[in-house]
Amino acid sequence: MIIAVSFVVWAGSFYFDITKTVPKFGGQYIEGIVGQPLYVNPLISQTSEADSDLAQIIFSGLFKYDKSGNVVPDLAQDFTISEDQKTYTINLKKNVLWHDGEPLAVDDVFFTYSVLQDPAYKSPLRQGFQGVDVSIGENQTIVFNLKSPYVGFLDNLTVGILPKHIWENIAPEKFALAEYNLHPIGSGPFAFSDFQKDSNGNILTFTLAAFKNYYDGKAYISKMTFNFYPDDTTLIAAYNKKEVMGMGSIPPENVKDIKNVKSTNLHELVIPRYFSVFLNQTKSLVLANDEVRLALNMSVDRKQIIETLLHGEGAPLSSPFFPQMKGYDESKQIQTDMEAANKKLDEAGWVLDTNENVRKKGTTTLEFELVTTDWPELNQTANLLKEQWAKVGAKVNVKVLSVSDLQQNYIKTREYDSLLFGQAISFNPDLYSFWHSSQKRDPGLNLSLFDNKEADGILENVRQEMDENVRNEDFKKFQSILADEVPAVFLYGRYYLFPTSAALQGIDAQNINNPQQRFVGVDKWFVKTSRVLK
């Protein structure tokens, strides 16, 4: 008996030694998302994460992002860029099919970009194609002619392509109302199957099926279902009851609410959104003092903010650049140094009034207002900054506002001493809109009203410079200028948290330019496995 049992154990061990686990076709994945789909259409889906998520899986673009956030070909077989860097000529992959079986052709691509550029269709993406001429070239290529070189142009070509035969007879005024926005036909790895509504017309579930004729090979998972919830609390409850296998995202403070921790994989994805205190030197005379801005920058304990408010789910930043970006300069990262901050203020004549615990220089008090939104994370960050800056004798008056009030009455008019806010960029950053002096006024996004001729020149050059080494050196110069001038106190980048059941395997994303990029390589995700010989 003992010999028999030993043999069985040995045989089992031997089997596992000579075999390996591989993905197997089949099974389903169910994800919960907060929100409702309305426009599963890549040209108008940008205002809704539910729409953007579904469009990401259903549609394909000329290009896409890889797991590191780099642009790589998708529907494009190959491409060339002219010597003057203004003309992009793209060859399409052959034998690509739409989900209804029709072939995808260059006419579909031309149609999509014609719609995108037409103001009557009101696509939020239109601005990225102003001044771009699109045409069909020789040998069924698609050709883009730019007025001037632009390094980030390939990022613009990641937008999903629409089927001309479905959309060409739909008038612009009916574009957003068309039934195909909820019965989408794309060319991506998963095709629309059906959706379920409740008695009030709210969509409860949206089901996709693996497209067997997908040009990059059929996806491993047979079916993907998306369930929709009104808020994070309801979604987390559904995950804990195993109604869903994953959540589109989860705030750091809610991670503790996941009950089935051992069977959950929490994917920490880096997303290039930075949070910063933008200092308005034209509004605040106190903040116009160089030594004050430098001292504020040195006295921020970024690690405390991340550990206390983000529960460790973030990274400290000293500029808009993340460590994962090319051109990132580690040497310019600021370290907390309260002693040096206090010394700098002492030497500049800011005397601490021990009765009020605030510094003064002549008749000027080191006091300013910090405005932010009522989003709990930013509200709490503002109050923690108030505590930290009090240690160097700065009095900070925190004003918390609704997003709409902040946007309309403060950001739009630049009516603030300082502003705690976030900005979203990409891993191939174009910082022109955020830091060039021409963008100081609305609708520009230069929230610090930063005005530096050398910085302007760098931001203009890196938009057109195709030599990556030259661009990286320019980016380092820009970081050096920010470190010297301190137009803003950069705080942190928050991880994008994507919890899934451990049963789901194959997730490969690391750096994502936007939330829907968590579906990078979704056709290689799997829930079923088998064993084969090594």
How is residue 378 written in tokens? 């930013």
Q: Determine the pLDDT at residue 531.
A: 78
Domain edges within the chain: 28-268+497-533, 273-347+362-494
Q: What are phi and psi of 119, to 5 degrees?
A: -60, -20
- How far apart are alpha carbons 111 and 283 in whole angstroms? 48
DSSP string, 336-375: --HHHHHHHHHHTT-EEETTTTEEEETTEESEEEEEEES-
- How far apart are alpha carbons 221 and 26 in whole angstroms? 5
- How far apart are alpha carbons 140 and 138 in whole angstroms? 5
- What is the share, in percent, of the chain residues with pLDDT greater than 90? 94
pLDDT digits (tens, 9 = 90+) for 413-429: 999 999 999 999 999 99
Instruction: Categorize the per-residue pLDDT at 18 as very low, low, confident or very high, splitting at 50, 70 and 90.
Output: low
Q: Determine the pLDDT at residue 6.
A: 57
How is residue 298 written in tokens? 């040195």
pLDDT(13) > 80:
no
pLDDT(433) > 70:
yes
Signed CA dihedral, 178, 181, 187, 193: sign only:
negative
How is residue 523 written in tokens? 């056709």
Say which residue, 15 or 216, is predicted with more confidence.
Answer: 216
Q: Determine the pLDDT at residue 287.
A: 99
Give the bridge partners for 276, in sequence order: 421, 490
CA angle, residues 311, 260, 224, in degrees to nearest 5:
100
- Cα distances from 327 to residues 241, 435, 464, 468, 531, in angstroms, run 45, 17, 16, 9, 43
pLDDT digits (tens, 9 = 90+) for 218-247: 999 999 999 999 999 999 999 999 999 999
- How far apart are alpha carbons 471 and 484 in whole angstroms? 20
Q: What are phi and psi of 498, to 5 degrees?
A: -125, 95
Q: Taking Cα atoms as reference points, which of 381, 401, 400, 378 lies closest to residue 389? A: 381
Give the bridge partners for 167, in sequence order: none
Say which residue, 211 or 534, is predicted with more confidence.
Answer: 211
The answer to whether 161 and 60 are in contact (CB under 8 A) is yes
- Which range, 17-21, 75-79, 353-357, has the best average confidence (pLDDT)? 75-79
Strands 367-373 and 395-401, by their bridges, are: parallel
Q: Which amino acid is at 514?
A: N
pLDDT digits (tens, 9 = 90+) for 368-403: 999 999 999 999 999 999 999 999 999 999 999 999
Cβ burial of 419 (10 Å; 0-12, 13-18, 19+) is buried
The answer to whether 299 and 392 are in contact (CB under 8 A) is yes
- How far apart are alpha carbons 160 and 43 in whole angstroms? 8
Q: Determine the pLDDT at residue 260.
A: 87
Signed CA dihedral, 340, 344, 345, 351: sign only:
positive
DSSP code at position 38: S
What contacts 24+ positions apart, CB below 8 Å, involve 210-215?
210/523, 211/99, 211/187, 213/97, 213/101, 214/187, 214/188, 214/189, 214/523, 215/93, 215/95, 215/96, 215/97, 215/187
Q: Determine the pLDDT at residue 163.
A: 99
Q: What are phi and psi of 383, to 5 degrees?
A: -75, -30
pLDDT digits (tens, 9 = 90+) for 242-298: 999 999 999 999 999 999 889 999 999 999 999 999 999 999 999 999 999 999 999
What is the rounded average pLDDT for all residues in the chain?
96
pLDDT digits (tens, 9 = 90+) for 60-92: 999 999 999 999 999 999 999 999 999 999 999
Q: Determine the pLDDT at residue 165.
A: 98
pLDDT(8) > 80:
no
CATH of region 273-347+362-494: 3.10.105.10
Q: Determine the pLDDT at residue 532.
A: 78
Q: Determine the pLDDT at residue 505.
A: 98
Q: Determine the pLDDT at residue 533.
A: 73
How is residue 321 written in tokens? 């650049």
How is residue 487 written in tokens? 């137009």
- How far apart are alpha carbons 93 and 62 in whole angstroms? 9
- Cα distances from 397 to residues 24, 119, 120, 194, 448, in angstroms, run 58, 43, 45, 52, 18
Q: Determine the pLDDT at residue 10.
A: 53
How is residue 99 written in tokens? 């989900």
Q: Determine the pLDDT at residue 16.
A: 61
CATH of region 28-268+497-533: 3.40.190.10
pLDDT digits (tens, 9 = 90+) for 45-54: 998 999 999 9
Instruction: Categorize the per-residue pLDDT at 1 as very low, low, confident or very high, splitting at 50, 70 and 90.
Output: low
Q: Determine the pLDDT at residue 493.
A: 98
423: helix, strand or coil? strand
Please give the average per-residue pLDDT across 354-365, as a whole number: 94
